Chain A
Amino acid sequence: MSGSTRPSSIRDLRTWVVAACLCALTSVWMAGGGSPVAAEEATADALFDDSRLHDIWIRVNSSDWARLREGYLENTYYPADIEWQGQVVRNAGIRVRGRTSRNGQKPGLHIDFGEYVSGQRFLGLKSLDLDNLWQDPSMIRDRLAMRVFLRMGLPAPRESHARVFVGSGREFAGVYGVIEVIDKLFLARHFGEDDGYLYQYHWQDPFGFDNPPTSLDWYAARFDPRTHENESATALFAPVRGLAQAIMDAPVEQLESALAPYLDLRTYITHIAIDNVLSQPDGLLGNLGMSNFYLYRFEGSTRAQMIAWDQDLAFEDLDAPPPTKNFDLNVLAQKIWASPELRAAYLEALVDVTLAIGPPPGTPEVENSLTRQCPAPAGQPACGWLESEIFRMHPQIQEAALADPLTPHSDEQFDEEIQFLKRFARERGRIVRQYASEVDPERVDVALRTASDRLQSRSRRPR
C-alpha cells in the first residue's frame, strides 16, 4: 500500500514543479522589454517618455536622403520606413521642416505617416516632428520650456530626445528632439474636442494686434489653417480678423469682459508670463512681434487660445528685465499693463512661474556650480524643479550630443550652455521677482503669500 502511494506523491510533486517552472518562464517572457506583446501595446506615451534617450532609425533611400539635404528649402516628401523599439512603420513620408533652423547639414524632419498610405498611423500618431536642435547648443531648451508650460497648466507638445540613425547603414545622424505635432489628436487630448479651427502662425513681419488689416489675404498669409483647410477664406480668416479687431477696439477698463468672447485673458497672461520668465525673445512677446504659436478657436465658438510652439531660443538672457519687455510691440500686452486688475494678475503669474520652476525664495546661492549636484546633498542649497530637470536631461543626452556628427556646435559650447541653463534655473526666479517687486512690491508680497493655492489650481487644469 505504502509502496504504491509513494510513487503517486512523487508524480504529483513533479507535476507541480513542471507547472511552476512553466509559469515562471511565461512570466519572464511576458515581462521582457522586447516582447512582441509589449511592442504592440506601445503608445505615443512611450515614444514621448522623456525618462530615456530613444533611438529612431529612418530607413531612406540614399539618393532621397541626398536630395532631401540638397533641396532643404523645399517641402518635398520622400518615402521612408521608420523604426523605433523594433516597431516599423513602412512608407511614411519625410520632409525637411523648420524656418530659420532649416539647413542641409542636419535637416529637421517632419514625418507624415499617412503621406503615402492613407490613414496610416504610428503609435496612434498621424505625424511627428524631429527637431534638429540647430539653434540650441544645449539641445534641451525647447523640451525644458515645454515642460514649464505643462507645469503651469497650459497645453504644450510632449517631447523627448532621440538618437536618429539614417539609411540602410544605420548611420548616426545626431541627436534630435522628438516633438508631438499640434494636430487634432493633440487638441482632443488637451481640450476634449478636435473640430475647432487650428492655425499655425507664420511670422511675416512685426505684428502685435496694432491696426489689424481688413484684408483676409493678410491673415491667410500668416495663419496657416491646420484643420478645416478647405473651407472658404471667410469661414477661416474672418474670425481671426475679428479677434484682432476686438483686441484693438477693447477698452482697457472692460478689457477682460470685452475680450471674453474671443480669448481667455487669464490663460494668455500666464502664457506671456512664462515667455517673460523664460526670456523667450521669439514668442508672443518677441523682439520682432508675435511668433511661434498656434491659435485654436474652439468648436462653435469665437473663443480662441494660443498654444506655445518652438521654444529653441528661450532662456536667452538671465537678466532680461521683465515685466514689460516688448510690451510696446503688443497692443494686448499694453492694455493688460494699463489695467490695474490685469497688471496685478500678470505680476501674480510671474511670481507663480518663478515659484513653479524654483528654487523657493530665500534659497542661498550655490558656492561652486561645477560641483553642484541634484538632488542636493545635505547642507547644500535645495535644487529647484527646473534645475532638477536639467540635471535629469543633461546626462541623458550628453554622450550622444558630444558624438553628434552634424551639430554645428562644439563640445565646449554644449557644456557651457548646460552650465548656463543650470545657473538660469537657479537664479532667474529671484531676478524676476526682484524686477516685479520694483514695480509693485505689495502685490508681489501678496502673490508670494497666496501662491500655493494658485499653483495647485493651475496644475489641476485639465490637459
Chain B
Amino acid sequence: MVKGTLATLFVVAWLLRAASPAFAQAEALGPGAREQAIERERERGLRVEFDQRPSIRVDGVLRLDVRLISQGDWRDLSTPAHDTDAAFDLQRLRLGIDGVVLRKLEYQLEREMRDRRDPWRDAFVNLRVSRAVEVQAGHFKLPFSLDQTTGSKGLDFTDRSLAASYLAPGRDVGVMVHGSTRGSTLGYEAGMFRRGGKTLLLTDDPIAASPRTVAGRLVLRPWLPSTPKALRALSLGLAATAGHVPEGLNGVRGRTLAEDVFFDRVYVSGLRRRVGVEMQWRLGPVSAQGELISVRDERKNQGIDDQDLPDAVSRGWYLSGTWLFTGERKKGTIEPTRRLSRRGFGALELAGRVESLAFGSDVAEGPSARGPRAPRMVETSDSVVTTGVNWYLNEFLKVQADLARELRKDDGRVIDNRGRSWNRTFRVQFAL
C-alpha cells in the first residue's frame, strides 16, 4: 500500500514538473523571459500546457494529453467469506495518453500499472469522418450499458452496479462505427468484436473457440426546443449484443459486492444475447439514471442426456439518483464552484442506488437445482441498496464514502445466516 501511494505521488510530481519545463527555465532567467518563451513556442506551433492535465500541442498537427487515475479504497466487508477486519487497497493506478492527430484521428492508450497479467485498458484510434460518422478500432469497451461505459472518474459510487459489472461485456478488440446527429437527438454505436468482452471471461481458450460478437447501442433525445426543460434533460437508450459462446462452463457468474461468487458458471453452448435499456436524466445539480439488462445463453446439447436445456437467463437492473447540494451542475466531471485550494469547501453530492442481479433459467416447471446442467436452476438473486456521499475537493480529487446493504435470496427466500451483509467503502481518487 505504501509503495503504491509513493509511486502515485512520484508520478504526479513528475507530471507536474514535466508540464512546463520551458517556462521553468524562462522564469529562472528573470521577468519578461517567460512571456518571450511563450511567444517563441507559439511561433514554432509547439506548446506545453497544464490546464486540466499535462498536454503537448502542435497547432493543427498534434495534441497529446497525459491521463492519470489513482485511487485507494478502504473496505469493510462484513460477509461470511471475509473477516470483518477492514482492509486498505490501492485499487487503481492507471496511466495513459490521448489526443488527436491532424484534427481527424483521435487516439487513446491506457495502462493499468498494477495489473501485470492484462494491463492494457483502452488502446484505440478513432477517425472522425464527420460528426455523424466516426470509425473506431482497437481495444475498447463494447457499446453496451451506460454504467459500464462511464469512465471511473465519472462514477457516482465506488462500485459500478452489479448488472453493469457482471452482465455488460466490457472491453474487447473490435471495430465500431458511431456518431450522432446535430444536437445529439440520436446517437448510435455499432461494431463487431473478437469475442464477448472481458467481464465474462471464458474458462476455455476463448480466442480459438468463440466467433465474433456484434454489439449496437442507440441513445435518443427526441425532444423539440419547445419541450419543457425537465423533459429535455432525459435521454433514453437501447443496446444489444449477440455472439456465440463456446461449449463449456462459460455461463455468466454472479458475484456479490465483496466479489464472492453467489451464482457459479453453468454449461452453455450457442448464442448469447444481451439486451439493455437505459435512462439518464440530468437537470442542474440533480440526476437520475437507470438500466435494465438481460443476458440469455443458449444451452444446446448441455443436458445430462445431451439434450438441449432451457436458456440460462441473467437479469439485472438498477436505479440511482444524485444531488449536488452545493449547487454545481451535474455532468461527467464535477468542477466545484468553491475549490478547496481557493479556500472553498469543494462540492458535496448525495447519492443513492437500488439494484438487483438475478440468475435462473427460462423454465418454470420441474424441480429447481443448483447443478450446472440443471434444466431449471435455482433462482438466485442479490439485491443491494447503496447510499453514498461524494466530496469533490477540486476537479482532480474526489473522496467517496458508500454504505451498502446486501440481501441474497435463493428461490425467493433470504438465505439463512449468509443472506444479509453490510459493506462500507471509502475511496480517495486522484484523476487527471
Contact = CB atoms under 8 A, between A and B. Distances in A.
Contact of A61 (B367, B370, B373): B373
Contacts of B372: 79, 116
A39 interface: no
Nearest to B369: A91
A91 B303 contact: no
Interface in B368-391: 369-374
B43 interface: no
A80 interface: yes
Contact of A91 (B301, B302, B370): B370
Given A61-B267, A63-B247, A81 B304 contact: yes
A335 B328 CA distance: 87
B365 interface: no
B370 A168 contact: no
Nearest to B309: A61
Contacts of B118: none
A118 B370 contact: yes
Interface in B67-107: none
Which of the four size classes fits the interface of chain B?
10 to 19
A230 to B, nearest CB: 12
Contacts of A118: 370
Interface string B343-380: 00000000000000000000000010111111000000
Interface in A270-296: none
A395 B365 CA distance: 46
B51 interface: no
Interface string A113-149: 0001110000000000000000000000000000000
Nearest to B305: A168
B312 to A, nearest CB: 14
B306 interface: yes
Interface string A50-61: 000000000111
Nearest to B267: A61
A116 B369 contact: yes
B371 A79 contact: yes
Nearest to B366: A90
A138 B371 CA distance: 37
Interface string B136-174: 000000000000000000000000000000000000000
B304 A61 contact: yes
B306 A91 contact: no
A62 interface: yes
A360 to B, nearest CB: 53
B304 A117 contact: no
Contacts of A80: 304
A343 B66 CA distance: 85
A263 to B, nearest CB: 38
Contacts of A79: 304, 371-374
A75 to B, nearest CB: 15
Interface string A151-189: 000000000000000011000000000000000000000
B374 A116 contact: yes
A116 B367 CA distance: 13
A79 B302 CA distance: 11
Nearest to A93: B371
Nearest to B367: A90
Interface in A202-233: none
Nearest to A62: B306
B369 A90 contact: yes
Contacts of A59: 304-305
A91 B373 CA distance: 8
B273 to A, nearest CB: 22
A116 B304 CA distance: 14
Contacts of B247: 63
Interface in A58-113: 59-64, 79-81, 90-91, 93
A211 B371 CA distance: 47
Contact of B370 (A62, A116, A167): A116
B371 A91 contact: yes
B302 A61 contact: yes
A111 to B, nearest CB: 13
A117 B369 contact: yes
A150 B373 CA distance: 40
B265 to A, nearest CB: 12
A59 B307 CA distance: 12
Contacts of A91: 369-371, 373-374
Contacts of A168: 304-307
Contacts of B301: 61, 63
Contacts of A93: 371
Interface string B284-306: 00000000000000000111111
B367 to A, nearest CB: 8
A116 B375 CA distance: 13
B371 A117 contact: yes
Contacts of A167: 305-306
A90 B372 CA distance: 12
A400 to B, nearest CB: 24
A83 to B, nearest CB: 11
Nearest to A118: B370
A117 B247 CA distance: 23
Contacts of A81: 304
A117 B371 CA distance: 7
Interface in B239-262: 247
Contacts of B371: 79, 90-91, 93, 116-117
A63 B372 CA distance: 13
Please indicate which of the listed interface residues B267, B307, B371 has the most CB atoms of chain A within 10 Å of its own CB: B371
A118 B418 CA distance: 15
Nearest to B410: A118
Contacts of B306: 61-63, 167-168
A216 to B, nearest CB: 22
A60 B267 CA distance: 13
A81 B302 CA distance: 13
A383 B178 CA distance: 89
A59 B303 CA distance: 10
A80 B373 CA distance: 9
A117 B373 CA distance: 12
Contacts of A64: 373
Contacts of B267: 61, 63
Nearest to B264: A116
A118 to B, nearest CB: 7
A91 B366 CA distance: 13
Contacts of A62: 306
Contacts of B307: 168
Contacts of B305: 59, 61, 167-168
A118 B370 CA distance: 9
A238 B290 CA distance: 56
A168 B372 CA distance: 18
A61 B371 CA distance: 12
Nearest to B269: A63
B284 to A, nearest CB: 51
Contacts of A61: 267, 301-306, 373
A62 B306 CA distance: 7
A117 B370 contact: yes
Q: Which of A62, A64, A80, A118 has the most CB of B within 10 A?
A: A64
Contacts of A63: 247, 267, 301, 306
- Of A62, A117, A118, chain B has the most CB atoms within 10 Å of the CB of A117
Given A79-B304, A79-B373, A90-B374, 19 more contacts: A59-B304, A59-B305, A61-B267, A61-B303, A61-B305, A62-B306, A63-B247, A81-B304, A90-B304, A90-B369, A91-B369, A91-B370, A91-B374, A116-B369, A116-B370, A116-B371, A116-B374, A167-B306, A168-B304
CB-based closest 9 A-B pairs: A91-B371, A168-B305, A116-B371, A79-B371, A91-B369, A79-B373, A116-B370, A59-B304, A81-B304
14 contacts: A59-B305, A61-B303, A63-B267, A64-B373, A79-B304, A79-B372, A90-B374, A116-B369, A116-B371, A116-B374, A117-B370, A168-B305, A168-B306, A168-B307
Interface of B: 247, 267, 301-307, 367, 369-374
